[in-house]
Structure 1
């Protein structure tokens, strides 16, 4: 037994899928078994080599964009094909209650890199302008900032200082350039949140992509660059942040794959042919990277973390039975697929149901690599290494938080949000154990859900369970005070209640 929780080995991918959805208890089931001189920013190479005594792993962090909780086979997709991801997940520990720290791209990435919740780095949304029709929101939003402050030390700084070569390949989105944030090598990373001009050339102002061949698919090129980085640094310790643009809009797949999925029978959960083609390209690329690690003899020396920045793109995919999608603070907007493969540390086919959040990756990556935590800035997460090693969760559940003092307009579909005009209005959210509380600032509405019994957040218990509502709300208010979280309160002078009511009626 681990902390009073049962230990279980999952023997197949099919059983892993079954376990993800049917196990209700929170806990983990697991068996446990450089140098920085001479760096060359142009090539991503480094002189020197790790000593034999240095058993710290290389680390590959694969971070997808708008990839939903069920958008891969090991999480239950009945249409998308992800055999390489499924096989990789079966080699490690799958976290079934893993969360992004925000429901859309830029704030999620800022939280990941800084290890801080949004009130600390103040990136709340994509851009600082008000999103949506200003007539339809009662409050002035909190604009925040659109660039991660350079005085924040990321985990890349810490890991580089510990002797690793660091690289960022793909989407960056929190500044103009990753290099000031602890990375030795950047390919394609800019402030852009979408693929530059799409997944096919031209790619203006994207470093390294200026002369891309006309028929080159962006996802494939990022895979090539990842393999190149690994090849150049095979004799030292490296940390690679492979941050795909996929599967962010525009929805564009390779013609042969799109044709394949148009002919495939539709699933009950998923059926979007272009999304399926984009996902297959990601999966094939991951398969190529794993094959190269094997060829270089690095497969047993490399830890792999896989996750995504927020929920799936609502018009093209589904997170059911979760409610919501990218941009909402219901589960479908923030719960992510997540696994860790760490040879000789995690036994394959294990799982963890303990709630975790992506600010936890900062201390986790530092502990995995032997890097120090920064001494002069807060880190809001906790290291997941004890969970990964099978030590089990703490006796009491901890709380995790989200804060979004802004507006995010609706997609064409609106069945996974509070109202049809916005995916989210200004709000804060807390989860503690099985319980999750939403607070919306425009109307003061509190919504309480028990996720163990109601994963789809359909049964609001805020009135029937006032004690739990008050307990979580008091804690949420205290957390906001401790982090300096701004709560919008200034009335929006452009707000038009009649126009809003008419717009809601038209959209219903």
Structure 2
């Protein structure tokens, strides 16, 4: 009996040993998976309007590669830049900090437009990030990544001082200069001239793909901030002719449309390189714009205004995020996000802790995994002036400026603009009035008060500087406009 009872005990012991071994093997595989660091490619197009891509419903622009990416990505229909023009938006993206925290409000100087039409002395602007500011590139370096930037930096003399191992074409400049979209490249930094006539967007992509190939066996962060589609408008003549011959109800610049298609072609090259190298499944690919498009080049109707304005046309941008195995392909997200959110998202993905750091954004991980962040206020602060591009087409608050000093708060569908020159306020319900035409401050005093209090608390908490000093050269707007009309130089 004793011998017989030993047999099942041995069988049970053997089974338990195998089970424990399987569990340990499974746990080991899970840990290995957890330790796999995804590559990250961040494509940041310059001045690309919210509507100016096929997947956003526009039929004029031909963007098959970006449309294909959209079919494989989460699509964010209410994605916002933290500022309405290049430098402050990029500073906020790179740090996760809103403009009062880093002091980059515009492309210097802050006193833009005719001095006689500025009622206040604007707040002094900072044109670069400080070296003490922790950048997204430095975050990836802390996690053991190789980092490279290919294109526009606009936040200092050299991005290698702020976390990038490789820099091709980036410094403090905001555009490639006269004739700069074709080689020779006007002495762009760390970018040798190519064959005469080589396109800059093509070249930056080729350099980026070489970076991918050189780092395919280790985790990398590739930041691809194309100079395109920023002015000066220059494009391949074949594509310009193609759009010149298309029906163009929105009167979009054919050169601009050709630049957009060139960007699309190069996004396709990036996607193909990932597939060819077997990296697609372990690469997060993000596509967005730094701010809204220029309205006189490509109208953003039904959105109001464009680049440089804090109406929707200036800050709402296209955004796609593809993370294989995590994001749901072609799922449209209506929850508002901002480019401030990318820094804390990467902190969570990389498991990097910065004890003395607090982002002004929120991690997008809950959204990417099918959940939500939850309703939260979003803020914009612009204590300076931006002169009008085109007084007839800008669709701003007045014809002289795209933006006068002000702040904005958004909560859900509600958005409040506050202006420091005259304490003017505009309240809009974006679900019912995406074009921001119907000011509801008079009919919705409780909502106006609620958002104004949120804004005042935020300004106080961040120490956001408010312009208060009167400009001694100021002439009232009405007198200024009348003077210009009398001299036939207003329109």
TM-score scaled by structure 2?
0.90
Q: How far apart, in 1, do the equivalents of 2:105 and 2:344 lie?
A: 22
CA distance in 2, matches of 1:254, 1:117: 37
Structure 2 match to 1:448: 427
Q: Deviations over 1:402-452 (max 9, x none)?
A: 000000000124442000000000000000011000001111101000001
Give the alignment of 1:120-159 within 5 angstroms. Answer: 120-159=101-140
Q: CA RMSD in A?
A: 1.5
Does 1:411 pair with 2:389?
yes
**Cα distance in 1, alignment partners of residues 412 and 448 from structure 2:** 14
Corresponding residue of 1:428? 407
The secondary structure found in structure 1 opposite 2:314 is: helix
Q: Deviations over 1:32-88 (max 9, x none)?
A: xxxxxxxxxxxxxxxxxxx87632210000000000000100112221111000000
Shift of 1:181: 1.2
The separation in 2 between residues aligned to 1:453 and 1:265, in whole angstroms, is: 30
Of 413, 418, 439, 1:460 maps to 439
Q: Which residue of 2 aligns with 1:54?
A: 35
CA drift at 1:378: 2.7
- Are the aligned partners of 1:78 and 1:270 in contact in 2 as well (CA < 8 Å)? no
Unaligned runs of 5+ in 1: 1-50
Task: Summarize the Cα distance change of 1:163–1:274 in structure 2 as closer, same or farther, 3 Å threshold.
Answer: same
Structure 1 Cα separation of the partners of residues 250 and 58 of structure 2: 7
SS of 2:203's equivalent? helix
The 2-side partners of 1:354 and 1:406 are apart by 29
Aligned to 1:387: 367
Separation (CA, whole Å) in 1 of partners of 2:128 and 2:359 = 19
- Matches of 1:92 and 1:84, distance apart in 2: 12
What number of residue pairs does the alignment pair up?
Answer: 454
When residues 98 and 270 of structure 1 are mapped into structure 2, their CA distance, relative to the original with a 3 A threshold, is: farther
Query: Given that residues 184 and 197 in structure 2 are in contact (C-alpha distance below 8 angstroms), is that contact kept between their aligned partners in structure 1?
Result: no
- CA gap of 1:489–1:160, structure 2 versus 1, over 3 A, is same
Give the distance between the partners of 1:231 and 1:149, measured in 2 at CA. Answer: 32
Equivalent position of 1:250 in the other structure? 232
SS in 1 for 2:321: strand
User: For each residue in 1:444-488, what CA deviation from the matched residue of structure 2 results, as whole angstroms up to 9, or x when unmatched?
Assistant: 101000001100000000111111101100110110010010110
Q: Does 1:240 align with 2:222?
A: yes
State the match for 1:193 in structure 2: 174
- Matched with 1:231 is 213
Q: Are the counterparts in 2 of residues 136 and 499 from structure 1 also a CA contact under 8 Å?
A: no
Task: Kindly indicate whether the alpha-carbon contact (under 8 Å) linking 2:150 and 2:169 is maintained by their aligned counterparts in 1.
Answer: yes
Q: Go from structure 1 to structure 2 and tell me whether the alpha carbon gap of 1:255 and 1:346 turns closer, same or farther (over 3 Å shift).
A: same
CA–CA separation in structure 2 for the residues paired with 1:335 and 1:487: 24
Cα distance in 2 for residues equivalent to 1:256 and 1:118: 41
Partner of 1:66: 47
3-state SS of 2:481 partner: helix
Give every structure 1 segment of 4 or more consecutive aligned residues whose post-TM-superposition deviation is greater than 6 Å: none
The residue number in structure 1 matching 2:376 is 398
Q: Does 1:103 align with 2:84?
A: yes
2:247 maps to which of 265, 290, 293? 265
Question: For 1:316 and 1:482, how far apart are their aligned partners in 2?
Answer: 38
Contact 1:161 1:371 in 2 (8 A): no
- Distance in structure 2 (CA, Å) of the matches to 1:157 and 1:421: 40
TM-score, length basis structure 1: 0.87
Q: Which runs of no fewer than 5 residues in structure 2 stay unpaired?
A: 1-31
Aligned match of 1:80: 61
* Equivalent pair of 2:176/2:186 in contact (CA under 8 Å): no
1:215 maps to which of 184, 197, 200: 197
Change (3 A) 1:462 1:258: same
Residues 289-327 of structure 1: per-residue CA shift (max 9 Å, x gap): 111111000111111111101110121102111001000
CA displacement at 1:265 relative to structure 2: 1.9
Within-5 A mapping of 1:6-21:
none
Report the counterpart of residue 367 of structure 1 in structure 2.
348
